[in-house]
Amino acid sequence: MAKDNKKNEDAQKVEGLITELDKHKTQIEDYTNSLKRLQAEFENYTKRVDKEKIELSLYASYKVLSKMLPVMDNFDKALENIKPICNEEQFKGLEMIYKQLHKLLEEEGVKPIECIGNKLDPFKHDVIEIVKGDEDNVVINEVQKGYAMKEKILRPSKVVIIQKKEEQ
C-alpha cells in the first residue's frame, strides 16, 4: 500500500507539473503574440512618422514655392517691358538672374504647366474665357502661367479655351 500511495503521489505531482507547464506554455504564447503585435505596431508607427516628416517638408516647400510664383510672374512682365528701355548689358544681367531663379525652381521640382494646344484638364487649368470655334475644349491662350511641383499643382494655368459652336 505504501507503494501505491507513493505512485499516486508521484502521479499527482506529475499531473500538477504538466498542468503548470501547460499554463506556462500558454503564457509564453500570449507574451510572444503580444510582443509580435507591439513590434508590428512600432514598425507601422515608424513608417507613419517617416511619411509624415516627408509630407511636412514637402508642404513647407510647397508653401514657400507657391509664394514665389507671383514674383516669377512679375519678373516675366518686367523682362518684357524693360528690354526697350535698358542697355544690352543690363538686360543680360537681369536675364541671368531670371534664369537662376528658374533653375532654382526646377531643382525643387517646380515646372510650368504646358497647356496651349492641349485638351482642357480641370485639375491643371482654370478657364477664364470660352471662344466658339471648330475644336472642342482645347486651350488656345494662356493668361497666367500655371506651375506643378512633382505631381502636385502649385497653381493652375488661367486659360482661354475654344469650344465647338452648337449646331441648330
pLDDT tens per residue, range 81-109? 888 888 888 889 989 999 999 899 999 88
- Residue 150's pLDDT is 81
Q: Following CA atoms 17, 22, 23, 27 in sequence, which dihedral angle do they give, to the nearest 10 degrees?
A: 140
Q: Which cell is 89 given?
A: 548689358
CA gap 136, 163 in Å, rounded? 4
CA gap 36, 42 in Å, rounded? 10
Residues 87 and 25 placed together within one structural domain of the fold: yes
Residue range(s) defining the domain that contains residue 141: 111-168
**Number of neighbours of residue 8 by Cβ within 10 angstroms:** 10
- Tens digit of each residue's pLDDT (9 = 90 or more) over 24-80: 999 999 999 999 999 999 999 999 999 999 888 877 888 888 899 999 899 888 888
pLDDT tops 90 at residue 4: no
User: How many residues make up the chain in this entry?
Assistant: 168
Residues 155 and 73 placed together within one structural domain of the fold: no
CA gap 161, 128 in Å, rounded? 8
- Residue 167's pLDDT is 58
Rg, C-alpha atoms of the chain = 36
Q: Give the pTM.
A: 0.64
Residues 1 and 70 placed together within one structural domain of the fold: yes
Q: Which cell is 48 given?
A: 507613419
CA gap 157, 142 in Å, rounded? 7
Q: Which CATH number belongs to the domain containing residue 147 in this structure?
A: 2.30.22.10
What is the number of domains present in the chain? 2
Residues 86 and 125 placed together within one structural domain of the fold: no
Number of alpha carbons in the 13 Å side-chain half-sphere of residue 129: 9
Q: Which residues pair with 159 in a beta bridge?
A: 127, 142
Last residue of a domain, one of 88, 108, 128: 108
pLDDT tops 60 at residue 168: no
Are 116 and 137 in contact by the 8 Å Cβ rule? The answer is no
Q: Is the model more confident about 3 or about 107?
A: 107
Residues 8 and 32 placed together within one structural domain of the fold: yes
Measured CA distances, 27 to 32, 36, 39, 82 (Å): 9, 14, 18, 81
Residues 63 and 19 placed together within one structural domain of the fold: yes
